Structure 1
């Protein structure tokens, strides 16, 4: 056997025991499936709870770089996205933006995730979810809704960090409570001056302070730099109860993105989200009708993190020569995307809203001028 032929065989990480064909992970059966004879092979899933790593231990990034399969890194020269594909596989298109300008990169140690959620939505179901999503958008051009959008779906495992932390906060603020008093006023109606009374609102302010403790579990932060953060957020929350221990079998037939946000950078974003949640919680605890001059001093303790992969179908497409992107949650089928807008539909909606407002103003004016 020649060297090239032997290397090609070694690149097939999961050969079928029946025919020797390539076995890929099948979302429907949650097993490996032969692409030639259809044979299924069960995966010995690891259901153990993912391990939490201390963020405060001062140790460097995790050193386990053994993904269980030979990998190569490719980088897109258009969008800069880096992903991992099986060794000896030839990449022709970027899985992020669809550009053909992809080049192999020098070998580099890439930290292995410890857990993942396998794909549970296959390519056909992801495409169907996008078609259904299009039909429900109000302001999309009718032609775009009707046409069969041509988009290359790529199944990608996107890297994420999750963070846990105990928090203890001390706060000060001013609480405002609304009160009402009856005031007498005058107005002119049909040339006549009349007196009337109405309720006037005023605010009484009080200084408040206190302590607030809360534990945060699994604050989920994308470790990818290739996506609009809002686009990822709109994919919805993944059910992390479906996490399984990492096995290379789940990656067969899919692409894994190499993280570009390290765990320290990820924590900074997680802390911002935690701080926002704490301020909202504390405002609710203070109560009242308004809160101003809120100052919160928070300590973070017992911080831990996990590195994991989550499944997403990614696609780029064009409409009238303009690029757009959509993604489908590979666990739930929820769609998040950018789409063209119909200018005339938006204009009609705005005019309709203005007409309704105008009608309300006209009605209110006529009632105010009616004889008493």
Structure 2
């Protein structure tokens, strides 16, 4: 946990020391005397906001409960939000000391949050277990204790809800079969035989389809690609808490760099994929061609979430590597060194098996 707390937002009632969020108790805990203070945690359906809300509505969503300042890393470009008055000496993404305070820190506050449930030690243990199960890692790397620079950070996400109405048209192909008579030459003699021939009968179809979408989850992080975040596994959004600034005490949150509008385009693309797949199932048939779908999106709403991630970087043989740990479940994703020898042996083994299978079929057809 990041314990840089020069700006004390939640002073301990017993000793006036800084209180930070504790993953084990899910309470605020004093760094000095260990006193705990319960957070008014509320697990309920978070409020959704219209995507077309005006500037006045947006203005009311900028209050995070405490004043924030933006920090920009000159090395990797990552941007984070920390309490005003708090200082940081390095980037939580790449560990670079080249961090600069930005003048503009206005961002839409999160509507809800999943607090950290995995501690630093648990995150390190998850990574140690994860790397031992990787096939192509060097044995020396698997066995050694990796010295990681581990930072806790809340990653921003958007979720979108919408009602959709689609009209579609397509050509559907249905397979039919018929028996045909053919000839062939065997040992110099012509003989006839029967064979089953498949052919396709096509017909046109059209229809409409209604579909509701709830919580299409889109990463709003500009630092990580969506594939890396997807490998962390799905967060359990049923455990969302209404946002409280206490959950951020002792932690850093990334400032979203994917706008609401850009996030919505990504959500539309995901929704289009679901609609296309489901419409194809409705149409049925054996083949479909010239499928055309027109979809209208209504009642589009969004919310801003913060989801917990442990971010780490480490050096192995003078090369930097990164990994992430889901702060809710402990699942790991990341980049690790590869063993060229193991990959080569595996490839040769696969080729050997393929050759053996080919020789087996050739031998049995003679």
- One of 6, 11, 14 as aligned partner of 1:18: 14
- The CA deviation string for residues 252-301 of structure 1, in whole angstroms up to 9 with x for no partner, is 11101111111111101100101111111111111122222211100001
Shift of 1:320: 2.2
Alignment of 1:124-273 (within 5 A): 124-182=121-179, 198-273=195-270
Q: Which residue of 1 aligns with 2:37?
A: 41
Q: Which residue of 2 aligns with 1:116?
A: 113
Aligned residues: 362
Alignment of 1:300-315 (within 5 A): 300-315=297-312
Q: Which residue of 2 aligns with 1:299?
A: 296
Residue range with higher mean Cα deviation, 212-221 or 92-101: 92-101
What is the rounded CA distance, in whole Å, between the counterparts of 2:264 and 2:276 in structure 1?
18
Relative to structure 1, the CA distance from residue 366 to residue 180 in structure 2 (aligned partners, 3 Å threshold; closer, same or farther) is farther
Contact 1:174/1:294 (CA < 8 Å) preserved in 2? yes
- The CA deviation string for residues 105-142 of structure 1, in whole angstroms up to 9 with x for no partner, is 11432321121111111111111111111111112222
What is the rounded CA distance, in whole Å, between the counterparts of 2:167 and 2:184 in structure 1?
50
Relative to structure 1, the CA distance from residue 17 to residue 351 in structure 2 (aligned partners, 3 Å threshold; closer, same or farther) is same
Question: Does residue 56 of structure 1 match 2:40?
Answer: no
- The CA deviation string for residues 62-116 of structure 1, in whole angstroms up to 9 with x for no partner, is 2232222232211000111111112332211111121111111114323211211
Relative to structure 1, the CA distance from residue 355 to residue 72 in structure 2 (aligned partners, 3 Å threshold; closer, same or farther) is same
Contact 1:170/1:209 (CA < 8 Å) preserved in 2? yes
What is the rounded CA distance, in whole Å, between the counterparts of 1:281 and 1:107 in structure 2?
44
Question: Does residue 355 of structure 1 match 2:358?
Answer: no
| Matched position secondary structure for 1:202 | strand
What is the rounded CA distance, in whole Å, between the counterparts of 2:122 and 2:352 in structure 1?
42
Contact 1:159/1:258 (CA < 8 Å) preserved in 2? yes
What is the rounded CA distance, in whole Å, between the counterparts of 2:320 and 2:363 in structure 1?
50
What is the rounded CA distance, in whole Å, between the counterparts of 1:121 and 1:194 in structure 2?
74
Residue range with higher mean Cα deviation, 275-284 or 315-324: 315-324
Unaligned runs of 5+ in 2: none
What is the rounded CA distance, in whole Å, between the counterparts of 1:322 and 1:206 in structure 2?
59
- One of 320, 329, 353 as aligned partner of 1:323: 320
- One of 92, 95, 105 as aligned partner of 1:95: 92
| Matched position secondary structure for 1:56 | coil
Alignment TM-score, normalising by the size of structure 1: 0.90
What is the rounded CA distance, in whole Å, between the counterparts of 1:196 and 1:161 in structure 2?
64
- One of 267, 272, 285 as aligned partner of 1:288: 285
Question: Does residue 31 of structure 1 match 2:31?
Answer: no
Alignment of 1:67-78 (within 5 A): 67-78=64-75
Contact 2:180/2:194 (CA < 8 Å) preserved in 1? yes
Shift of 1:150: 1.7
Relative to structure 1, the CA distance from residue 273 to residue 364 in structure 2 (aligned partners, 3 Å threshold; closer, same or farther) is same
Question: Does residue 342 of structure 1 match 2:339?
Answer: yes
| Matched position secondary structure for 2:58 | coil
Relative to structure 1, the CA distance from residue 186 to residue 127 in structure 2 (aligned partners, 3 Å threshold; closer, same or farther) is farther
Relative to structure 1, the CA distance from residue 82 to residue 292 in structure 2 (aligned partners, 3 Å threshold; closer, same or farther) is same
Contact 1:163/1:305 (CA < 8 Å) preserved in 2? yes
What is the rounded CA distance, in whole Å, between the counterparts of 2:79 and 2:263 in structure 1?
18
